[in-house]
Amino acid sequence: MVALVQSAYFVQIPFYLLGILGARMLNAMQSNQVLLKIALVSLIANVMGNWLLMKIMGVAGIALSTSIAYLLSCAMIFYSLRRTLVAKG
């Protein structure tokens, strides 16, 4: 069971690292409102994913939900980063 949980958490590592990089870039561009909205969506997605996947997979579902939340957050950060860069020319 521990190996399954660790495997589900391992999936989040690249999204977590890229998310940190993207968030720092958005912060440097003073897009903090965007980061706040992304954080709220990510929180809601994580809570809902925990509830749903915990019922299906048990404790490993919570780990997988966290990884999915990081994937979603990373995607939203880089989408926002692209939009901000295009808008600033």
Q: Where are the alpha helices (DSSP H) in the chain?
A: 2-10, 13-28, 32-57, 59-88
- Residue pair 69/19 in contact (Cβ under 8 Å)? The answer is no
Q: What is the mean pLDDT of the chain?
A: 95
Compute the distance between CA of residue 7 and CA of residue 11 in angstroms, rounded to an integer.
Answer: 7
Q: Dihedral through CA 27, CA 30, CA 32, CA 34, nearest 10?
A: -100
For residue 88, name the pLDDT band (cuts at 50, 70, 90): confident
Each residue of 53-76: pLDDT tens digit?
A: 999 999 999 999 999 999 999 999
**55 in Cβ contact with 61 (< 8 Å):** yes
pTM score of the predicted model = 0.90
